[in-house]
Amino acid sequence: MPAIIPFAKALYLCDGHIGFANQKTDLIGIFNSIRAPAYPHVQQHFVIFAQLIGGLGQIPFYFDVTLSQTGQLLHTTNTHVLNCPRRDQLIQLAYTMQGCLFPAPGVYLVVLFCDGQWVADTSLDLL
């Protein structure tokens, strides 16, 4: 049976997360902008947190960071596998992005792809 791509209930950027039993997660320092001291700027790490539902099976996923105005790809992650055992099960995905280079101030998009298809994105303003 082919995998079914989930849809995102939420996609957040934050400084960190703490996972607890029973699908509880604390997000630390949710943000949508970064004030860089100089450019180019390398953000050492940030966490991308998504809540996904409706998926089924073993689903490859990855994240891209693009320049919003042009769609230019600046960073992509390796492909990982998301396990969705039931379509009605909420899946919480936390991914730590490391060493992401932002060449200039502007609006960037952090985009989640599952099985090569767009699932969600969120904007990130570099000030």
**Beta partners for 91?**
52
Q: How confident is residue 21, by pLDDT bands cut at 50, 70 and 90?
A: confident
Contact yes or no for 75/66 (Cβ under 8 A): no
Give the residue from 94, 16, 85 showing the smallest Cα distance to 53.
85
pLDDT tens digit string along 75-101? 999 999 999 999 999 999 999 999 999
Give the residue from 86, 82, 83 showing the smallest Cα distance to 61.
82
User: What is the Cα–Cα distance from 18 to 12, expressed in whole angstroms?
Assistant: 14
- Predicted local distance difference test score (pLDDT) of residue 94: 95
* Residue bearing tokens 């303003």: 125
* Residue bearing tokens 């693009």: 66
pLDDT tens digit string along 30-76? 999 999 999 999 999 999 999 999 999 999 999 999 999 999 999 99
State both tokens at 20: 């607890």
